[in-house]
């Protein structure tokens, strides 16, 4: 089961905080909002098409939550957006923050791959040649190659 942990204040603003100067800045106190950082962690299984677990890997996802400090102002909608890999920015937040803050939305930005391996199997150096990929700790290599998919078969039309 995953666990979520509130990250205690460190005296420094979290990366991508709305309180940092820049394009995503917002005066959260003035608008009646709070910002909290959480880490969600657990173990993710790798499952075959038959449903067999062949490996397990730990994961950590960082969430930065912005919500009205008064729960009665919350309109019931949470806007969730991944932070970009470049500076942990959220383009949707940058473009809509004034509206979200006026209307009582909550915002959840998340950062993946806090524990990303040096060679991430999701982003191989040469996806056309999976034999070049190193084996992982369990001795696994990718099982599908581009030739495993018939790109010439048209999809059925409705």
pLDDT of residue 124 exceeding 60, the answer is no
The string of pLDDT tens digits covering residues 2-58 is 899 999 888 888 888 899 888 899 999 999 999 999 998 888 888 889 999 888 888
Query: DSSP letters along 31-58, please?
Result: HTEEEEEEEEEEEEEEE-TTS-EEEEEE
pLDDT of residue 139 exceeding 50, the answer is no
The overall pTM is greater than 0.75: no
What Å distances lie between residue 84 and 73, 90, 125, CA to CA? 29, 6, 21
Determine what percent of the chain falls in helix, strand and coil, rounding each to the nearest 5: 15, 30, 55
- pLDDT band at residue 86 using 50, 70 and 90 as cut-offs: low
């Amino acid at each position: 089961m995953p666990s979520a942990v509130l990250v205690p204040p460190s005296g420094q603003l979290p990366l991508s905080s709305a309180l940092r100067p820049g394009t995503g800045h917002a005066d959260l106190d003035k608008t009646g909002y709070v910002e909290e950082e959480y880490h969600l962690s657990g173990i993710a299984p790798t499952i075959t098409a038959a449903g067999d677990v062949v490996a397990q890997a730990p994961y950590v996802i960082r969430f930065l939550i912005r919500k009205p400090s008064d729960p009665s102002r919350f309109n019931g909608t949470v806007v969730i957006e991944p932070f970009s890999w470049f500076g942990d920015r959220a383009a949707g937040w940058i473009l809509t923050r004034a509206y979200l803050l006026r209307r009582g939305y909550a915002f959840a930005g998340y950062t993946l791959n806090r524990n990303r391996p040096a060679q991430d199997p999701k982003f191989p150096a040469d996806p056309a040649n999976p034999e070049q990929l190193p084996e992982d700790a369990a001795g696994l290599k990718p099982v599908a190659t581009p030739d495993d998919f018939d790109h010439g078969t048209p999809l059925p039309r409705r």
